Amino acid sequence: MKLMTHYVSGLVLTDHIFEVPLDHAQPNGAKIEVFAREVVASRKVNQGLPWLVFFQGGPGSPAPRPTGSSGWLKRALQDYRVLLLDQRGTGRSTPVTAQTLAHLPPQAMADYLKHFRADAIVGDAEYIRRELLGPDEKWSVLGQSYGGFIITHYLSAAASALHQAIITGGLPPLTRHADEVYRATYKRVIGKNARYYQRYPDDIARVRDIMRHLQASEVQLPAGGVLSPRRFQQLGLMLGAGDGFEAMHYLLENAFVGGPNGRVLSHNFLRAVENEQHYETNPIFAILHEAIYCQGHASRWSAQRVRDEYPEFTPDVTTRGEQPVYFTGEMIYPWQFDDYAGLRPLKEAAHILADYDGWPVLYRPEVLQTNTVPCVAAVYYDDMYVEREFSEETARAIRGLKMWVTSEYEHNGLRADGETVLGHLLEMSECVNA
């Protein structure tokens, strides 16, 4: 269904809503809505431009909301009509939140959420492609981070629909167990912490001071929930961005203010912590993050189990002596469904999904080995979220894929300098097509 068209700073934005099956294997069953925003440069609105679909990172994040022509979108609109897809469960696509799931008992909630991985997202994309373009027309795809995971499944399941594939920071491990993924990423996070404290050595004492305070008293957050020491450590998710070290330092430097009974963590600091932690507003990330690595096996809270192998992340400062407190990274833990007030209603379903071992296969190496779709990928040398060595393995497994390994950018390169990054990949893609 085509909805409203808006005009913003040289862009023509057209809203589309599609009714798709919750389970694509049962096309006559329950339905959900998927929203997508078509974007074209106003001066090219009547040109027959090819389509480029953007898959956002996450999982559980909606597509960007454009306010003008800048970054990667500016470069893309030179050659394409762009479709910004709110992946199912996000944004305006039948959202998944504690509110919208409240009517379901835990098992029914878990069964519903099993339909929100990459395979279902590609099923939605194929439904939309047939509606917008027709069954025989192809389009190009661009995926950032988890968006690259989706594209890799697309190449495994419906490559005939693709004209070209562009991936930034998102070549997934094809067959590795979730435990292997977290062992590799924990090591990357250790390295990021060490470099952070080299840049800001005064923060060693500052972080230890905050942790002592959190261990001594229960700190309630403004929107509910508890800022426990382990939740505070989750701020390490910031360290993998290009400006993450500075963002972390500026957040920490004003943590304390004077209160009537001595120093306390400031309201502004606590609000800033909440603003950095999006698990309650994007709950798919918390519920299904480990499941994106599961193919025929259960995660059984992989990140929590593997964390025990790395004493660097122990939250108890009394046992650490003068050792720095290390932050964690892109890991999900079972205790989050206690510490985050907005996740508590999802706790039982999350445990059911953590024990579920029926996840279908997402990637088919035998198909990827015969790939004919022109593919290019940016791989960030010291990526904290997607292990470079595993990405390189996958790049070698996809026939014809051209890889750009760079240390110039961190994982958020497409957001930080999207016009340059996408421009370089499109130049690479021209060479592939030639």
AA letter at 136: D
Neighbours of 7 (CB within 10 A): 10
Catalytic residue among 119, 124, 339, 383: 383
In 3D space, the residue among 311, 324, 314 whose CA is nearest the CA of residue 208 turns out to be: 324
Q: Retrieve residue 407's tokens.
A: 């240390």
Phi and psi at 19, nearest 5°, equal: -95, 120
68-72, long-range: CB < 8 A, 24+ apart:
68/8, 68/9, 68/10, 68/11, 69/9, 69/10, 69/11, 69/41, 70/419, 71/414, 71/415, 71/417, 71/418, 71/419, 72/142, 72/414, 72/415, 72/418, 72/419, 72/421, 72/422
Phi and psi at 412, nearest 5°, equal: -95, 30
Q: Retrieve residue 327's tokens.
A: 């932050």
CB-neighbour burial class of residue 298 (10 A; exposed 0-12, middle 13-18, buried 19+): middle
Phi and psi at 35, nearest 5°, equal: -105, 140
Give the integer Cα–Cα distance in Å for 51 and 79. 9
Catalytic residue among 69, 145, 156, 391: 145
Neighbours of 371 (CB within 10 A): 18
Give the integer Cα–Cα distance in Å for 89 and 80. 26
145 is catalytic: yes
- β-strand pairing of 162-168 with 81-85: unpaired
DSSP run (H or E) holding 377? strand 375-380
383 is catalytic: yes
Give the integer Cα–Cα distance in Å for 108 and 320. 43
Peptide bond into 59 cis (omega under 30): yes
SS (H, E, C) 219-286: CECCCCCECCHHHHHHHHHHHHCCCHHHHHHHHHCCCEEEECCEEEECHHHHHHHHHHCCCCCCHHHH
- The residues carrying an active-site annotation are 145, 383, 411
